[in-house]
């Protein structure tokens, strides 16, 4: 028994001397020995060393990867992406300087001969130019005579009309190959939404009016309805072409256009109130001129007076007065005063209203017509019967002055 106890105690002592940590773990009191502290410090140093070695390995791997990428770029397009060094910049500057010296070097030129030397001739002294100033008005003590205003009546003389008709006859379109079926083609083109097709259709209608007027007379009403719609078109090119086509119908169909004069003439007058374009106004007045020159007097008179006499737009009233004056010149004073109650009364009433219009241009047309009619012997009796006394008061004074 004693031998067994001694061997057991020796084993426990040797185990305690080898490691102090085992004794600390097994001791219930939680005693911390110096060997345990040393073990912890050694473990921390080992862990730090392991982390340091791992970081060094990662850095080495990243550096190797970057070196491999740079080697690949050097093999391919490294020159395009590599930043120019200072040495390369200096070399480029030197090359540019050498090229500029070569280009700027003067080329050998032949010496000019003695005969080519220009002789300098002294110029005569010139007086200094005085800037001209605009004269804004008359100075003190200076009297200027008033300039007589030149007013354009807007009425065309017979020479102007003959010149206009001569110019119109020069522009002739070629006859169509199939005139019978071309009218349906015109209707299809005018019903299209494409403005270029509309212009082609309008020109075909004008060619029919010039070369095949008999075919166009059968569908004159339908054609005029389409032309009225195109005159109202907001695209100015189409509207002007439609008005030019209407003028061609007036010239070539003449009396056949009498049933359509009132509707087409009123459309042309109202077009003047829709826009202020000078070009459109010229086209509309050109078509109205053709209407006055080629259609019946009574139909033209109705077309002008029904819409234009009391219209609010000055352009409409001015165009109406201008073409009424043109119609009066064409009819003559004797024919107007002896044509019957319908024409005579309407013209005299219109002249009395136009003569006192607010617009000076409209008023000028009315007063000119009034003075022309006053030369007829039957004018005074018809004038007193037709125009009331209140409206004649100012106009009688005008007639007495003249």
Residue range 338-388, pLDDT digits in tens: 888 889 999 999 999 999 999 999 999 999 999 999 998 888 889 889 888
Phi, psi of 339 (to 5 degrees): -80, -15
Determine contact, residues 156/326, Cβ cutoff 8 Å: yes
What is d(CA 331, CA 335) in angstroms, rounded to the nearest whole number? 6
pLDDT at 163: 32
3-state SS assignment for residue 152: coil
What is d(CA 321, CA 95) in angstroms, rounded to the nearest whole number? 84
Q: What is the mean pLDDT of the chain?
A: 77
What is d(CA 204, CA 208) in angstroms, rounded to the nearest whole number? 6
If you count them, how many residues does the chain have? 402
State mean pLDDT over 284-290.
Answer: 96
Phi, psi of 96 (to 5 degrees): -65, -40
Domain edges within the chain: 1-45, 159-311, 332-402
Reading the block at residue 8, the tokens are 């057991």
For the domain bounded by 159-311, which CATH number is listed?
1.25.10.10
Instruction: Rank 145-154, 196-205, 381-390 by mean pLDDT and report only the highest.
Output: 196-205
pLDDT at 59: 87
3-state SS assignment for residue 394: helix
Burial class of 311 by CB neighbour count within 10 A (0 to 12, 13 to 18, 19+): middle
Determine contact, residues 355/366, Cβ cutoff 8 Å: yes
For the chain, report the end-to-end CA distance as a whole number of angstroms.
175
Query: The tokens 């000055």 sit on which residue?
Result: 314
What is d(CA 185, CA 230) in angstroms, rounded to the nearest whole number? 16
Determine contact, residues 171/208, Cβ cutoff 8 Å: no
**pLDDT confidence bin for 65, thresholds 50/70/90:** confident
Task: Report pLDDT digits (tens) over 158-175.
Answer: 334 433 433 443 466 655
Q: What is the pTM of this model?
A: 0.58
**Region of poorest pLDDT, from 41-55, 66-80, 134-148, 370-384:** 134-148
Residue-wise DSSP of 45-73: HHHHHHHHHHHHHHHHHHHHHHHHHHHHH
- Examine the pLDDT at 400 and tell me if it is beyond 60: yes
Q: Which residue has the higher pLDDT, 5 or 70?
A: 70
Burial class of 164 by CB neighbour count within 10 A (0 to 12, 13 to 18, 19+): middle
pLDDT at 247: 95
State mean pLDDT over 256-272.
Answer: 94
Burial class of 343 by CB neighbour count within 10 A (0 to 12, 13 to 18, 19+): middle
Residue-wise DSSP of 313-372: -HHHHHHHHHHHHHHHHHH-HHHHHHS-HHHHHHHHHHHHHHTT-SSHHHHHHHHHHHHH
Task: Report pLDDT digits (tens) over 107-150.
Answer: 555 554 444 544 444 444 454 454 454 444 443 333 333 333 33
**Rounded to the nearest 5 degrees, what angle is found at the Cα of 147, between the Cα atoms of 141 and 152?**
165
pLDDT at 133: 47
What separation in angstroms does the CA of 170 have from each of 81, 205, 240?
A: 74, 18, 19
**Region of poorest pLDDT, from 57-66, 225-234, 262-271:** 57-66
Share of the chain above pLDDT 70, in %: 67
**Rounded to the nearest 5 degrees, what angle is found at the Cα of 368, between the Cα atoms of 346 and 339?**
35
pLDDT at 135: 43
CA 191 to chain centroid, in Å, comes to 25
pLDDT at 90: 60
Q: Which residue has the higher pLDDT, 46 or 144?
A: 46
pLDDT at 115: 45
Q: Which residue has the higher pLDDT, 237 or 84?
A: 237
Task: Report pLDDT digits (tens) over 171-191.
Answer: 666 556 666 777 888 889 999
């Amino acid at each position: 028994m004693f031998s067994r106890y001694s061997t057991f105690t020796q084993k426990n002592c040797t185990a305690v001397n080898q490691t102090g940590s085992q004794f600390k773990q097994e001791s219930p009191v939680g005693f911390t020995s110096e060997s345990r502290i040393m073990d912890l410090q050694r473990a921390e140093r080992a862990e730090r060393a392991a982390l340091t070695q791992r970081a060094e390995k990662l850095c080495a791997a990243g550096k190797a990867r970057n070196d491999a990428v740079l080697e690949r770029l050097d093999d391919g397009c490294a020159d395009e992406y590599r930043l120019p060094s200072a040495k390369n910049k200096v070399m480029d500057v030197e090359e540019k300087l050498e090229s500029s010296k070569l280009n700027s070097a003067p080329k050998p030129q032949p010496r000019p001969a003695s005969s080519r030397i220009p002789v300098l001739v002294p110029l005569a002294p010139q007086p200094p130019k005085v800037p001209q100033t605009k004269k804004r008005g008359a100075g003190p003590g200076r009297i200027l005579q008033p300039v007589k205003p030149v007013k354009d009546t807007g009425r065309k003389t017979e020479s102007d009309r003959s010149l206009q008709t001569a110019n119109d006859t020069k522009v002739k379109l070629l006859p169509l190959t199939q005139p019978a079926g071309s009218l349906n083609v015109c209707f299809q083109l005018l019903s299209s939404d494409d403005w270029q097709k509309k212009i082609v259709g309008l020109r075909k209608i004008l060619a029919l009016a010039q070369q095949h007027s008999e075919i166009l007379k059968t569908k004159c009403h339908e054609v005029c309805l389409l032309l009225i719609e195109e005159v109202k078109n907001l695209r100015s090119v189409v509207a002007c072409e439609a008005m030019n086509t209407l003028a061609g119908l007036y010239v070539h169909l003449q009396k056949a256009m009498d049933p359509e004069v009132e509707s087409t003439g009123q459309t042309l007058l109202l077009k003047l109130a829709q826009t202020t374009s000078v070009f459109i106004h010229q086209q509309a007045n050109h078509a109205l001129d053709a209407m006055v020159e080629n259609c019946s007097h009574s139909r033209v008179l109705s077309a002008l007076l029904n819409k234009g006499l009391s219209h609010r737009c000055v352009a409409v009233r001015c165009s109406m007065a201008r073409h009424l004056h043109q119609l009066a010149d064409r009819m003559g004073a004797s024919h107007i005063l002896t044509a019957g109650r319908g024409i005579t009364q309407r013209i005299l009433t219109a002249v009395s209203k136009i003569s006192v219009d607010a617009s000076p241009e409209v008023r000028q047309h009315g007063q000119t017509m009034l003075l022309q009619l006053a030369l007829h012997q039957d004018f005074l009796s018809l004038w007193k019967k037709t125009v009331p006394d209140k409206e004649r008061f100012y106009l009688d004074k005008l007639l007495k002055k003249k």
